[in-house]
Structure 1
Amino acid sequence: MSIALRAAPSKKATVQSLMALLNRSCTCPAHGGMPHPPHSPSSLLKPQQHSSSRYQASTAAASNMEREYAFEMATSTMRFGVGVTQEVGMDLAQMKARRVMVLTDANLARLPVMATVVDSLRRNGVEHVVYDRTRAEPTDKSWADAIAFAKEHRPDVYLAVGGGSVMDTAKAANLYANYPDRDLLEFVNAPIGKGSVVDKTLSPLIAIPTTAGTGSETTGTAIFDYEPLHVKTGIASRMLRPTLGLIDPLNTRTMPRQVKIASGLDVLCHALESYTALPYHERVPRPRTPAERPAYQGSNPISDVWSLEALRTTVKYLKRSADDPDDMEANTQMCLAAAAAGVGFGNAGVHLCHGMSYPISGLNKSYKHPEYNVGHKIVPHGISVAVTAPAVFRYTAPACPDRHLKAAEIFGADITSSTSSSSAGHLLADQITHFLQELGVPDGLKALGYSADDIPALVKGTLPQHRVTKLAPLATGEQALTKIFEDAMVNY
């Protein structure tokens, strides 16, 4: 069995279609208007204002839209502790699971974590089938393979054992097995997909992360490479969130150094982007109903707490964790950082580093990152978000210089004499650059095989990423993206 995929359009037709969508006003349900409630909390709660946001120079049309006045916090149940992996069989037995689909990858299938999982399932009499074909940096084709497996075996519970690629594939398998007649693009974010609302409860999903990075065990987001357009995209819905995340620091000990670094850099950018995202109360237009409020809502007072803690922890412990696989304190703290960042960005959202990373990964010509034991070229997600970070935060600093200065201070910068918008961005960018250099991260886009000639294609691949780019604190069109990509060619 295989999931129905739309026939790939011609390159010219695809570009024309995307440009037409980009020039249209958004009409998705999450961006409909609704009457302003009496005594709106927005008039009472006064979150920190950005000094220069996209909406301060709003158009006449935007001025007639009602701004958001509320934010919502949602996350998975999390259980954290050394050794909690062995409890999963008990959890599934208590859930009265009839058949569990265990998703992992070919490498993890041979490692101790899977032996622990399978032993726990057997000891607790849990019937299960193992799918070990998950692809690192999944594609529409690899998702379709996992979805077909789920449809064939019809599990009533899903168990993901792996990093973000495994957890996101499990979310997709769960979603489309519960909507067996839907096209793959049905729920994919607009304008690449239809962006339809997931309107029913899915099967339970337990996630056991084996990396300290994506935070996918806490979020309703799933990302994949859509190969017809050579770009990453994804699905975002609270319905995709795992029922339970079992976070066990023992499972990260076997991560190669480069995998640890890439995973940790994803945590870093989750934290930085969610903290500097457009404030929730500046997002327009307001959704018609609470159910249509998007998962990515903009920076908010609760997400800020989680994001800042994740940033502090990552700055302190990532290099230690990467340098010494037996440093259990550092490994444990990075697992906590990944989960904390997941709660932060899972409700606030990310913006330009992630939006720009999708074409960086999708348009990769031949780059293959070291220590990734996969049979295909790969720019790991954490690397693709990090290489643009210095340029991104130089650009966004004028919108909220105080937040950029706060982030720079966490890296160790002296901010006592830095108060202007321009100095905030440069100060944070310098701190990020030094951090990346210390970790030995490739020196900008050029080191990944890109040149100035590739910038138009990279910009074109970023423009459709509305779900995240619209959360940037400054309006970001083609010209701004071009300049950021130019600045990110070389960092050191």
Structure 2
Amino acid sequence: MKCVREEEFPVDQFGSVRCNFSGFLWIMAGRNRVVQLLRRLEAVTCRCPAHSSTFQQAASSVHSTDYAFEMASSNLRYGEGVSREIGMDLQNLGARSVCVMTDRNLSRLPPVEVVLESLEQSGVGFSVYDSVRVEPTDTSFKHAISFAKSESFDAFVAVGGGSVIDTCKAANLYACHPDADFLDFVNAPIGLGKPVSRVLKPLIAVPTTAGTGSETTGVAIFDFEPLKAKTGIASRALRPVLGIVDPKHTLSMPERVAANSGFDVLCHALESYTALPYNQRRPRPLNPLHRPAYQGSNPISDVWSRQALHVVAKYMKRAVRDPDDLEARSNMHLASVFAGIGFGNAGVHLCHGMSYPISGNVKTHSAKGYSVEHPLLPHGLSVILTSPAVFNFTAPICPERHLEAAEILGADTRRVKREDAGPVLANTLRQFLFELQVDDGLGAVGFSKDDIPTLVKGTIPQERVTKLSPRQHTEDDLAQLFEASMKLY
């Protein structure tokens, strides 16, 4: 049979294609009808090896679990003073017009000064955008996107915490897709979740906090104001080409910023290590392009997540209590990177999914150590407040991992039974938070039981992460978790 082009076939009003070969009229059903037919055949076909077929496998693969995982991360450079090299990096990339993004507080501090001096010394032209909002919103993202579209930038540099790096990722994305609607790339079901179709401009990230790990990932998180909940954009295309991790930058973090950033590291590590295994995640993608960035726990992410937990256990309290402890703050900066590589591929689950409506519905709480003019519940704090309840809930599914995490964080688990893994990890976390003077639950930051229906409603659209919980959950389960998190101690 000769090969023919699709356009040679006339299509009728039912989506079928009529083809005439050697005088015979054949009706070829449209793709959707073929798939439907194969699924019906699958339901009645014998499944024994003698009668199974590859057609069955093709039709049912969308319902099957995945069988593979991918590892992706930015190139990383670590060391004291490496920020001075950024001008040469951009010169090597051939950049002539660079968009530098930061926030107003950082714009007057050494990390930004060092980066701008490096660009000037290398003769690289740049424009500075210093209006990034701490805990960005769709409105603040759009403002930064407009700036990115205002000039023909050929590279981007983000100097700051996760808010700055995430904002810069979004600005780069939409500047390279000038005709895209804002919701085109936003995660479903809030947005359309379209795959990124173009190569973005090079982005170099210079993190100044030890928390988000955004320098390693292809994720950008923001508050979607219409829903009063966080969502984001997730694509490997968003990953910075280089993350410059200069531990000296963390010395400028106030105590509570160091604490809340560290809590984000802790939850990244715990959630990715206890996430649904990659080979239990559904659906299996029919095209590797559609394999999600968050794939479930896997043997490689496990290594990074465990190592991050060890570093947090050893250095976090020191890093919070003594801002001049360069060893402790340097190691927490590395822990942020380790956890970023781990969760950037494995994903997070309930603590993060539940945190998005918590931070999106903050009323009057103003966190210490943050110079902002709006109510603020820092991301790391909104994540950690539900952690004792969440890990008590998920422990029955993979108790060994929960016990291992508790042991790493200092618990004596030698005589603990598997069925007690949840309470042991929950109590270990409560003690850890108490020693670091964390607010006593959601009630202490302005929420009450009357807010629980709103918080549950805001968690439901976060399926991209909540579906990676090792334990399936209902809306009633979420309500009970929020209630259990109203008071910690």
CA displacement at 1:63 relative to structure 2 = 10
1:136-160 Cα offsets, whole Å, 9 max, x none, are: 0000111011000000022110000
Distance in 2 between residues matched to 1:359 and 1:315, nearest whole Å? 28
Give the conservation status (yes or no) of the 8 Å contact 1:214–1:338.
yes
Distance in 2 between residues matched to 1:96 and 1:428, nearest whole Å? 50
Distance in 2 between residues matched to 1:88 and 1:477, nearest whole Å? 48
2:134 to 136, 150, 168: 136
Give the conservation status (yes or no) of the 8 Å contact 2:61–2:284.
no
Q: What SS is found at the alignment partner of 2:428?
A: helix
Distance in 2 between residues matched to 1:129 and 1:106, nearest whole Å? 14
1:91-124 Cα offsets, whole Å, 9 max, x none, are: 0011110200000010100001111111100000
The aligned residue for residue 90 of structure 1 is 88
Give the conservation status (yes or no) of the 8 Å contact 2:307–2:335.
yes
Distance in 1 between residues matched to 2:393 and 2:433, nearest whole Å? 18
Counterpart residue type for residue 100 of structure 2: V
1:74-101 Cα offsets, whole Å, 9 max, x none, are: 0000000000000000100111102000
Give the conservation status (yes or no) of the 8 Å contact 1:62–1:284.
no
- Aligned positions of 1:448-487 closer than 5 A: 448-487=445-484
Quick one: structure 1 residues 182 and 92, their matched pair in 2 at CA, closer, same or farther if it must change by over 3 Å? same
Quick one: structure 1 residues 217 and 63, their matched pair in 2 at CA, closer, same or farther if it must change by over 3 Å? closer
Counterpart residue type for residue 79 of structure 2: G
Which segment is superposed worse, 410-419 or 445-454? 410-419
The aligned residue for residue 445 of structure 1 is 442
- Aligned positions of 1:74-473 closer than 5 A: 74-421=72-419, 423-473=420-470
Give the conservation status (yes or no) of the 8 Å contact 2:62–2:286.
no
Q: What SS is found at the alignment partner of 1:225?
A: strand
Give the conservation status (yes or no) of the 8 Å contact 2:62–2:285.
no
Distance in 2 between residues matched to 1:403 and 1:297, nearest whole Å? 18
Distance in 1 between residues matched to 2:313 and 2:103, nearest whole Å? 29
Quick one: structure 1 residues 481 and 132, their matched pair in 2 at CA, closer, same or farther if it must change by over 3 Å? same
Distance in 2 between residues matched to 1:98 and 1:235, nearest whole Å? 28
Distance in 1 between residues matched to 2:384 and 2:440, nearest whole Å? 10
Q: What SS is found at the alignment partner of 1:441?
A: coil
CA displacement at 1:259 relative to structure 2 = 0.3
Distance in 2 between residues matched to 1:386 and 1:82, nearest whole Å? 30
1:71 to 69, 72, 75: 69
Q: What SS is found at the alignment partner of 1:398?
A: coil
1:256-304 Cα offsets, whole Å, 9 max, x none, are: 0000000000000000000000000001110011111100000000000
CA displacement at 1:64 relative to structure 2 = 8.3
Quick one: structure 1 residues 322 and 289, their matched pair in 2 at CA, closer, same or farther if it must change by over 3 Å? same
Distance in 1 between residues matched to 2:330 and 2:226, nearest whole Å? 39
Distance in 2 between residues matched to 1:113 and 1:361, nearest whole Å? 27
Distance in 1 between residues matched to 2:472 and 2:465, nearest whole Å? 12
Distance in 2 between residues matched to 1:462 and 1:480, nearest whole Å? 12
How does the TM-score come out when normalised to structure 1? 0.87
Q: What SS is found at the alignment partner of 2:243?
A: strand
CA-atom RMSD in angstroms: 1.6
1:39-77 Cα offsets, whole Å, 9 max, x none, are: xxxxxxxxxxxxxxxxxxxxxx99982111000000000
Distance in 2 between residues matched to 1:63 and 1:389, nearest whole Å? 35
Give the conservation status (yes or no) of the 8 Å contact 2:297–2:347.
yes
Distance in 1 between residues matched to 2:62 and 2:195, nearest whole Å? 25
Distance in 2 between residues matched to 1:81 and 1:424, nearest whole Å? 38
CA displacement at 1:170 relative to structure 2 = 0.2
Distance in 1 between residues matched to 2:450 and 2:325, nearest whole Å? 43
For structure 2, which runs of at least 5 residues remain unmatched after alignment?
A: 1-31, 33-37, 40-58
Distance in 1 between residues matched to 2:170 and 2:357, nearest whole Å? 21
Q: What SS is found at the alignment partner of 2:90?
A: helix
The aligned residue for residue 55 of structure 1 is none
CA displacement at 1:418 relative to structure 2 = 1.3
| % identical equivalent positions | 60
Distance in 2 between residues matched to 1:118 and 1:236, nearest whole Å? 29
Counterpart residue type for residue 485 of structure 1: F
CA displacement at 1:419 relative to structure 2 = 2.2
The aligned residue for residue 22 of structure 1 is none
CA displacement at 1:330 relative to structure 2 = 0.2
Which of 1 and 2 has greater Rg?
2
Distance in 2 between residues matched to 1:199 and 1:413, nearest whole Å? 47
Distance in 1 between residues matched to 2:278 and 2:107, nearest whole Å? 41
Distance in 1 between residues matched to 2:111 and 2:268, nearest whole Å? 26
Quick one: structure 1 residues 64 and 165, their matched pair in 2 at CA, closer, same or farther if it must change by over 3 Å? closer
Give the conservation status (yes or no) of the 8 Å contact 2:366–2:374.
yes
Give the conservation status (yes or no) of the 8 Å contact 1:353–1:392.
yes
Q: What SS is found at the alignment partner of 1:217?
A: helix
Distance in 1 between residues matched to 2:407 and 2:266, nearest whole Å? 14
Which segment is superposed worse, 193-202 or 277-286? 193-202
2:487 to 484, 487, 490: 490
Counterpart residue type for residue 398 of structure 2: C
Counterpart residue type for residue 427 of structure 2: D
1:13-36 Cα offsets, whole Å, 9 max, x none, are: xxxxxxxxxxxxxx9xxxxx99xx
Give the conservation status (yes or no) of the 8 Å contact 2:78–2:245.
yes
Distance in 1 between residues matched to 2:83 and 2:62, nearest whole Å? 52
Give the conservation status (yes or no) of the 8 Å contact 1:187–1:194.
yes
Counterpart residue type for residue 99 of structure 1: S
Aligned pairs, how many? Answer: 434
Counterpart residue type for residue 248 of structure 2: L
How does the TM-score come out when normalised to structure 2? 0.87
Quick one: structure 1 residues 133 and 63, their matched pair in 2 at CA, closer, same or farther if it must change by over 3 Å? closer
